[in-house]
């Protein structure tokens, strides 16, 4: 399968710029860790990164680091070290692999640049529980271990409609972080810098949305698997100029590919939607499997999770609160189903792949009847594959291939 995929895949010219953005991010953090001239904050993926940028922090995202451990197929080497600390193998494997790697003293980022000696240690840890409780437990471990302050936002869960009450409650908590962070930087928040960071984050979101929306074209010039790689700048650098420049470049390449009819999956026959976490250590294998079956996975919940179009530079605190609460993972099943049905229609998909990730119940939506309700509402078929984001011991490639092949046959038979 590998050689077949290599022959057919047309690499993105933008990938060189992507590598530069990612490497620069970690090199800059390594510099700050070495000379102590700039404070470093660790932040959860939907923590208030815009506020941290505006207050002069460089920002490191442990979830991104954990995904790198997964993508390098190293996570299972580290998870047992976290288990020995009392963190169960059944909880988030981002948490267990990241903490385990820290205990082991290994990180893939040292391979990006010889100046990087290890993960850049934090001056403060900032979380938002809007995605799950695990992120707080994860950060609290580091707070105890490194003796650094850990603050956060206690968010809502299962939100159907986001109301002004939700926004006010979250906004007040974000504002409450300001004096705590000022005590660390020794500087007062400049409202103009906050406005600028929110504006850049909004621009990043708008561009990333347009990048993903090129997948609505037939054939699609991009797949979910491409998206998991290209989303890097939106994950690690929102609130700065770098992702804005990167997505301007990528969007132009995708627009050109669309104009030329270049398909991410040559011979695209079936279009699917991916629901749930990626299986980081199997991205290549999964991408090749779908390519060989001429299936394009044209859209996903996961890649869309870095679109925060509610951000408004003229109303930074409330709009951050709204953007973080409108996020898919925070919402009720009813709201999630509305979102998925809208996406499947917009992208013209023939079916849904649900990934039931063993250690991430928060981002696995198959466990309470959702696939059946979607089928009843729209007739759209789905298949559920069992696996995990990082712990490959929980994933069976053979079973997955069999399920996906059978699902493709089922879809073909319906057409
Ligand atoms: S949402 Fe899932 S993968 Fe992400 S931190 Fe929480 S438990 Fe881990």
| pTM of the entire predicted model | 0.96
> How close is the Cα of 134 to the center of ligand 1, in Å?
6
Three-state DSSP state, 65: helix
DSSP labels, 258-305: HHTT--SSTT--EEEEEES---GGGHHHHHHHHHHTTEEEEEEHHHHT
- What is the distance between the alpha carbons of residues 206 and 341, in angstroms, rounded to a whole number? 21
What's the confidence (pLDDT) of residue 314?
98
The helices-and-strands tally (H runs, E runs) of the chain is 18, 8
What's the confidence (pLDDT) of residue 10?
80
Angle between helices 75-84 and 93-104 (to 10 degrees): 90
Pairing mode, if any, of strands 124-128 and 40-43?
parallel
What's the confidence (pLDDT) of residue 415?
79
| Residue 126 CB partners (closer than 8 Å, separation 6+) | 41, 42, 43, 44, 47, 48, 52, 139, 150, 151, 152, 177
Binding site membership of 91 for ligand 1 (Cβ less than 6 Å): no
List b or e across 158-190, with b for residues whose CB sees 16 or more CB atoms inside 10 angstroms: ebeebeeebbebbbebbbebbeebeebbeeebe
Binding site membership of 330 for ligand 1 (Cβ less than 6 Å): no
> How close is the Cα of 76 to the center of ligand 1, in Å?
16
Binding site membership of 374 for ligand 1 (Cβ less than 6 Å): no
Which mutation among 42, 70, 92, 142 tests ligand 1's pocket best, with the greatest number of atoms within 8 A of CB?
A: 92
| Count of C-beta atoms within a 10 Å radius of residue 345 | 11
Closest residue (by CA) to atom 5 of ligand 1? 135
* Ligand 1 atom at minimum distance from 94 CA: 8
- What is the distance between the alpha carbons of residues 43 and 57, in angstroms, rounded to a whole number? 11
> How close is the Cα of 256 to the center of ligand 1, in Å?
35
Binding site membership of 131 for ligand 1 (Cβ less than 6 Å): yes
- What is the distance between the alpha carbons of residues 198 and 312, in angstroms, rounded to a whole number? 7
Q: 């990167």: which residue's tokens?
A: 246
Tokens at 287, concatenated: 């991408």
* Ligand 1 atom at minimum distance from 138 CA: 5
- What is the distance between the alpha carbons of residues 283 and 304, in angstroms, rounded to a whole number? 18
Closest residue (by CA) to atom 2 of ligand 1? 360
- What is the distance between the alpha carbons of residues 401 and 192, in angstroms, rounded to a whole number? 52
> How close is the Cα of 133 to the center of ligand 1, in Å?
8
Distances (CA, A) of 66 to 142, 166, 315: 14, 30, 33
> How close is the Cα of 8 to the center of ligand 1, in Å?
34
- What is the distance between the alpha carbons of residues 98 and 109, in angstroms, rounded to a whole number? 13
Binding site membership of 94 for ligand 1 (Cβ less than 6 Å): yes
- Short-list 287, 313, 310, 309, CA closest to 300: 287
* Ligand 1 atom at minimum distance from 359 CA: 7
Per this entry, what is the length of the chain?
415
Instruction: Spell out the domain ranges in the chain.
Output: 15-414
Beta strands, E only, 147-247? 150-153
List the pLDDT tens digit at each of the 415 positions of the chain: 444 445 467 889 999 999 999 999 999 999 999 999 999 999 999 999 999 999 999 999 999 999 999 999 999 999 999 999 999 999 999 999 999 999 999 999 999 999 999 999 999 999 999 999 999 999 999 999 999 999 999 999 999 999 999 999 999 999 999 999 999 999 999 999 999 999 999 999 999 999 999 999 999 999 999 999 999 999 999 999 999 999 999 999 999 999 999 999 999 999 999 999 999 999 999 999 999 999 999 999 999 999 999 999 999 999 999 999 999 999 999 999 999 999 999 999 999 999 999 999 999 999 999 999 999 999 999 999 999 999 999 999 999 999 999 999 999 998 7
């Amino acid at each position: 399968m590998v050689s077949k995929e290599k022959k057919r895949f047309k690499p993105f010219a933008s990938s060189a710029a992507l590598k530069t953005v990612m490497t620069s991010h970690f090199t800059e953090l390594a510099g700050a860790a070495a000379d102590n001239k700039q404070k470093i904050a660790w932040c959860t993926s939907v923590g208030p990164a815009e506020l941290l940028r505006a207050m002069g922090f460089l920002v490191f995202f442990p979830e991104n680091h954990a995904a790198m451990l997964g993508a390098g197929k190293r996570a299972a080497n580290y998870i047992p070290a976290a288990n020995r600390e009392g963190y169960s193998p059944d909880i988030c494997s981002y948490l267990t692999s990241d903490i385990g790697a820290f205990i082991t003293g290994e990180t893939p980022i040292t391979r990006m640049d010889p100046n990087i000696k290890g993960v850049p240690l934090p001056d403060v840890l900032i979380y938002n529980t809007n995605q799950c409780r695990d992120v707080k437990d994860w950060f609290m471990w580091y707070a105890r271990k490194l003796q650094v302050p850990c603050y956060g936002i206690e968010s809502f869960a299962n939100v159907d409609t986001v109301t002004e009450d939700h926004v006010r409650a979250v906004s007040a908590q974000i504002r409450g972080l300001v004096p705590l962070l000022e005590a660390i930087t020794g500087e007062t928040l400049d409202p103009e810098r906050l406005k600028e960071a929110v504006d850049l984050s909004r621009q990043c979101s708008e561009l990333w949305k347009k990048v993903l929306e090129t997948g609505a074209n037939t054939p699609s010039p991009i797949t979910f698997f491409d998206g998991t790689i290209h989303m890097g700048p939106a994950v690690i650098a929102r609130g700065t100029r770098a992702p804005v420049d990167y997505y301007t470049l990528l969007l132009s390449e995708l627009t050109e590919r669309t104009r030329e009819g270049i398909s991410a999956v040559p011979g695209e026959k079936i279009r699917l939607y991916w629901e749930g976490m990626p299986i980081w250590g199997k991205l290549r294998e999964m991408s090749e499997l779908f390519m060989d079956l001429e299936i394009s996975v044209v859209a996903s919940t996961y890649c869309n999770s870095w679109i925060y179009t509610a951000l408004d530079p003229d109303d930074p605190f409330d709009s951050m609160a709204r953007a973080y609460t409108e996020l898919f993972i925070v919402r009720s099943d009813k709201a999630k189903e509305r979102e998925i049905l809208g996406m499947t229609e917009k992208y013209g998909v023939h079916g849904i792949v649900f990934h039931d990730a063993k250690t991430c119940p928060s981002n696995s939506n198959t466990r309470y009847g959702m696939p059946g309700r979607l089928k009843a509402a729209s007739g759209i078929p789905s298949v559920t594959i069992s696996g995990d984001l990082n712990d490959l011991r929980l994933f069976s490639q053979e079973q997955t291939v069999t399920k996906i092949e059978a699902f493709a046959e089922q879809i073909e038979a319906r057409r």
